[in-house]
Protein backbone atom coordinates (compact mmCIF):
# COMPACT_ATOMS: atom_id res chain seq x y z
CA UNK A 1 0.00 0.00 0.00
CA UNK A 2 1.47 3.38 -1.00
CA UNK A 3 1.59 6.31 1.40
CA UNK A 4 -1.09 8.12 -0.60
CA UNK A 5 -3.48 5.22 0.04
CA UNK A 6 -3.09 5.42 3.80
CA UNK A 7 -5.68 7.18 5.89
CA UNK A 8 -4.79 10.65 7.18
CA UNK A 9 -4.71 9.23 10.71
CA UNK A 10 -2.28 6.45 9.72
CA UNK A 11 -0.02 8.98 7.87
CA UNK A 12 -0.01 11.22 10.94
CA UNK A 13 0.86 8.26 13.16
CA UNK A 14 3.77 7.25 10.88
CA UNK A 15 5.02 10.84 10.76
CA UNK A 16 4.85 11.01 14.57
CA UNK A 17 6.81 7.75 14.87
CA UNK A 18 9.49 9.08 12.50
CA UNK A 19 9.74 12.36 14.44
CA UNK A 20 10.05 10.45 17.73
CA UNK A 21 12.82 8.29 16.23
CA UNK A 22 14.72 11.40 15.10
CA UNK A 23 14.27 13.04 18.53
CA UNK A 24 15.51 9.88 20.27
CA UNK A 25 18.55 9.74 17.97
CA UNK A 26 19.36 13.40 18.70
CA UNK A 27 18.97 12.88 22.45
CA UNK A 28 21.21 9.82 22.32
CA UNK A 29 23.83 11.71 20.31
CA UNK A 30 23.73 14.55 22.83
CA UNK A 31 24.51 12.08 25.63
CA UNK A 32 27.32 10.34 23.77
CA UNK A 33 30.50 10.51 25.82
CA UNK A 34 33.31 12.69 24.62
CA UNK A 35 36.79 11.22 24.68
CA UNK A 36 39.80 13.51 24.70
CA UNK A 37 42.46 11.35 23.06
CA UNK A 38 45.09 13.91 22.24
CA UNK A 39 46.33 17.04 23.97
CA UNK A 40 48.77 19.80 23.13
CA UNK A 41 49.36 23.09 24.88
CA UNK A 42 51.58 26.11 25.38
CA UNK A 43 51.13 28.00 28.62
CA UNK A 44 53.44 30.19 30.67
CA UNK A 45 55.98 27.91 32.30
CA UNK A 46 55.15 24.84 30.21
CA UNK A 47 55.55 23.87 26.56
CA UNK A 48 53.59 20.61 26.68
CA UNK A 49 50.84 18.91 28.70
CA UNK A 50 53.25 16.99 30.98
CA UNK A 51 55.14 20.17 31.91
CA UNK A 52 51.82 21.99 32.45
CA UNK A 53 50.68 19.24 34.81
CA UNK A 54 53.95 19.58 36.73
CA UNK A 55 53.44 23.36 37.03
CA UNK A 56 49.97 22.72 38.46
CA UNK A 57 51.03 19.83 40.72
CA UNK A 58 53.96 21.78 42.15
CA UNK A 59 51.99 25.03 42.55
CA UNK A 60 54.58 26.93 40.50
CA UNK A 61 54.08 30.63 39.86
CA UNK A 62 54.70 30.72 36.11
CA UNK A 63 54.75 34.51 35.95
CA UNK A 64 58.03 36.36 35.57
CA UNK A 65 59.47 39.80 34.97
CA UNK A 66 58.50 41.20 31.57
CA UNK A 67 61.23 40.10 29.15
CA UNK A 68 63.10 43.08 27.69
CA UNK A 69 62.40 41.86 24.14
CA UNK A 70 58.64 42.07 24.76
CA UNK A 71 58.38 45.69 25.93
CA UNK A 72 59.94 48.21 28.24
CA UNK A 73 58.06 47.51 31.46
CA UNK A 74 59.77 50.37 33.30
CA UNK A 75 58.38 52.87 30.78
CA UNK A 76 54.76 52.04 31.63
CA UNK A 77 55.06 50.93 35.27
CA UNK A 78 53.78 52.87 38.24
CA UNK A 79 53.04 51.25 41.62
CA UNK A 80 50.10 53.65 42.09
CA UNK A 81 47.05 51.97 40.54
CA UNK A 82 45.31 55.36 40.25
CA UNK A 83 47.81 56.76 37.74
CA UNK A 84 46.13 56.60 34.31
CA UNK A 85 47.88 54.92 31.40
CA UNK A 86 50.21 52.90 33.64
CA UNK A 87 50.37 49.33 34.93
CA UNK A 88 51.09 48.39 38.53
CA UNK A 89 53.07 45.24 37.83
CA UNK A 90 56.24 44.36 36.01
CA UNK A 91 55.31 40.68 35.84
CA UNK A 92 53.26 38.60 33.47
CA UNK A 93 52.71 35.13 32.05
CA UNK A 94 54.81 34.71 28.90
CA UNK A 95 55.25 31.87 26.47
CA UNK A 96 58.81 30.89 25.63
CA UNK A 97 60.11 31.17 22.08
CA UNK A 98 56.84 32.53 20.72
CA UNK A 99 58.83 33.94 17.80
CA UNK A 100 60.02 30.46 16.72
CA UNK A 101 57.95 28.79 14.02
CA UNK A 102 58.85 26.16 11.42
CA UNK A 103 57.00 27.73 8.51
CA UNK A 104 58.34 25.21 5.99
CA UNK A 105 56.91 22.31 8.02
CA UNK A 106 53.45 23.82 7.57
CA UNK A 107 54.11 24.73 3.93
CA UNK A 108 53.94 28.45 4.69
CA UNK A 109 56.33 30.93 3.14
CA UNK A 110 58.66 32.83 5.51
CA UNK A 111 57.06 36.11 4.44
CA UNK A 112 53.55 34.86 5.19
CA UNK A 113 54.71 33.38 8.53
CA UNK A 114 56.13 36.75 9.55
CA UNK A 115 52.72 38.36 8.94
CA UNK A 116 50.87 35.68 10.94
CA UNK A 117 49.69 36.48 14.43
CA UNK A 118 51.54 34.19 16.86
CA UNK A 119 48.13 32.86 17.91
CA UNK A 120 47.74 31.36 14.43
CA UNK A 121 51.23 29.88 14.53
CA UNK A 122 50.68 28.40 17.97
CA UNK A 123 47.36 26.90 16.92
CA UNK A 124 49.02 25.04 14.04
CA UNK A 125 51.82 23.76 16.27
CA UNK A 126 49.64 22.72 19.19
CA UNK A 127 46.94 21.12 17.03
CA UNK A 128 49.61 19.10 15.21
CA UNK A 129 51.08 18.01 18.56
CA UNK A 130 47.61 17.03 19.84
CA UNK A 131 47.06 14.88 16.75
CA UNK A 132 50.45 13.22 17.22
CA UNK A 133 49.68 12.68 20.91
CA UNK A 134 46.43 10.99 19.89
CA UNK A 135 48.23 8.75 17.41
CA UNK A 136 46.19 10.36 14.63
CA UNK A 137 48.03 10.81 11.35
CA UNK A 138 47.19 14.37 10.24
CA UNK A 139 47.37 13.41 6.56
CA UNK A 140 44.59 10.84 7.10
CA UNK A 141 42.11 13.55 8.14
CA UNK A 142 41.96 15.09 4.66
CA UNK A 143 38.44 15.28 3.23
CA UNK A 144 36.95 14.19 6.56
CA UNK A 145 33.96 15.89 8.12
CA UNK A 146 36.06 17.25 10.96
CA UNK A 147 35.20 20.72 12.25
CA UNK A 148 37.58 23.26 13.74
CA UNK A 149 36.33 25.63 16.43
CA UNK A 150 38.76 28.10 17.94
CA UNK A 151 38.64 30.95 20.42
CA UNK A 152 41.08 33.81 19.79
CA UNK A 153 41.45 36.85 21.98
CA UNK A 154 43.70 39.84 21.43
CA UNK A 155 44.76 41.86 18.40
CA UNK A 156 48.13 42.94 19.81
CA UNK A 157 50.07 41.59 16.85
CA UNK A 158 48.05 43.69 14.39
CA UNK A 159 48.86 46.83 16.38
CA UNK A 160 52.54 45.92 16.52
CA UNK A 161 52.67 45.53 12.74
CA UNK A 162 50.87 48.81 12.11
CA UNK A 163 53.25 50.57 14.49
CA UNK A 164 56.18 49.50 12.31
CA UNK A 165 54.66 51.41 9.39
CA UNK A 166 52.61 50.77 6.29
CA UNK A 167 55.69 49.80 4.28
CA UNK A 168 55.85 46.48 6.19
CA UNK A 169 52.21 45.63 5.49
CA UNK A 170 51.76 43.32 2.51
CA UNK A 171 49.26 40.90 0.98
CA UNK A 172 49.60 38.55 3.95
CA UNK A 173 48.78 41.17 6.58
CA UNK A 174 44.97 40.81 6.49
CA UNK A 175 44.92 37.00 6.69
CA UNK A 176 47.76 37.02 9.20
CA UNK A 177 45.92 39.10 11.79
CA UNK A 178 42.24 38.26 11.12
CA UNK A 179 40.72 36.17 13.90
CA UNK A 180 38.22 34.75 11.41
CA UNK A 181 41.07 33.13 9.46
CA UNK A 182 42.50 31.19 12.41
CA UNK A 183 40.26 28.10 12.37
CA UNK A 184 40.24 28.09 8.57
CA UNK A 185 44.03 28.04 8.47
CA UNK A 186 44.11 24.79 10.47
CA UNK A 187 41.20 23.35 8.49
CA UNK A 188 42.98 24.16 5.22
CA UNK A 189 46.27 22.67 6.42
CA UNK A 190 44.58 19.37 7.25
CA UNK A 191 42.19 19.39 4.27
CA UNK A 192 39.10 19.18 6.47
CA UNK A 193 35.59 19.38 5.01
CA UNK A 194 33.41 20.55 7.90
CA UNK A 195 32.66 23.94 9.46
CA UNK A 196 35.55 26.06 10.66
Per-residue three-class SS string for 37-86: CCCCCCECCECCHHHHHHHHHHCCCCEEECCCCCCCHHHHECCCCCCCCC
Please tell me the predicted confidence (pLDDT) of residue 135. 92
* pLDDT computed for residue 183 by the predictor: 94
Residue 34 has pLDDT above 90, yes or no: no
Question: pLDDT higher for 11 or 154?
Answer: 154
Check pLDDT > 70 for residue 74.
yes
The predicted model scores a pTM of 0.76
Indicate if the alpha-carbon torsion angle 116, 158, 111, 72 is positive or negative: negative
pLDDT of residue 3: 63
pLDDT computed for residue 40 by the predictor: 94
Amino acid sequence: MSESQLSPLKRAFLALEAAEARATALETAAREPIAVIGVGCRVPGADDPAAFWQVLADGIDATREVPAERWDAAAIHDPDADVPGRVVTRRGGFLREVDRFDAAFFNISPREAQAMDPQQRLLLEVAWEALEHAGQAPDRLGHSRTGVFVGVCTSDYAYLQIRHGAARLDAHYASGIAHSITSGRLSYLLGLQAPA
